Amino acid sequence: MKILLIQTRKDKMIEHEYNCIIKEMDLKPEELIAYDMFKENKIDAEIADQYDAVILGGTGEFAVYNKDQLPFLEDIYKLIRYCYDKDIPLIGVCFGIQLAAMAFGGEVKYMPENKEAGNYLVSLSEEGKKNPIFEGMPDPFCAVIGHMDCVTKVPENAVILASSERCAVQALTFPGKKFYVFQFHPELDKQGLVDRLKFYYKKGYAQEEEITDIIDNAREANEPRKILKNFKKMIM
């Protein structure tokens, strides 16, 4: 197995993200190939042909509307559309759902009043309840979430699989495709959540007086971590 991980991080969480995915998918390092967009500054869509699947990682620093800071956005959008057209399995976490929405004509907006940082309940739609990506999971389930941007317009033909109280679009797919993107973080356990919160809370995800309470109440959120294992089964 050989999976391509697209990363858009400039900080040390780039390694944290890689290690979390390795752990939750039970992969060997040679099976997950990291592609640092800030080092490469471009990517050819056809690179996806060399892999069994593509993963779109998250980011704690940037947003899809930061075009001046992310000159390679159009390249990523082309890669996403290429995977769709060629039926190359794709999964995206956090920033990944926003990238996928934009790639297909959706919209993403900054919505600090709807921000989520910590553990939140996520509920499955009727389509989500039937989808194999959520096999073995309860409804609702507790997930690790951290964002201030939300998908506010879903691409044509996309289906919402899950929602939370603050964010209507927590998971999307395209029927008939092994194409899954999530606003929450299926790669993070309790320690992963704590690590990210401690590192990023000054970016606006939580106030200093809130962070201790969020960390003290952090939960393992074991159920969403089945998602990456279910995705791995789909592509084996």
208 noted as active-site residue: no
Let me know: does 43 contact 79? Beta carbons within 8 Å: yes
Question: Which position among 24, 147, 150, 185 bears the catalytic label?
Answer: 185
pLDDT of residue 203: 78
Q: Which pLDDT value is given to residue 72?
A: 98
Q: Give the pTM.
A: 0.96
Q: Are 211 and 201 in contact (CB under 8 A)?
A: yes
pLDDT per position as a tens digit, 79-109: 999 999 999 999 999 999 999 999 999 999 9
Active-site choice (24, 116, 187, 223): 187
Q: Is 185 a catalytic residue?
A: yes
- pLDDT, residue 49, reads 98
In order of their start, the domains of the chain are 3-235 (3.40.50.880)
Residues of the chain whose pLDDT is less than 50?
none
- pLDDT at position 208 is 74
CA distance 112 to 130: 32
Measuring CA to CA, which residue among 212, 188, 6, 234 is closest to residue 103? Answer: 6
Distance from the first to the final alpha carbon of the chain: 7
**What pLDDT score was predicted for residue 205?**
78
Options 83, 94, 150, 167, the catalytic residue: 94
187 is catalytic: yes
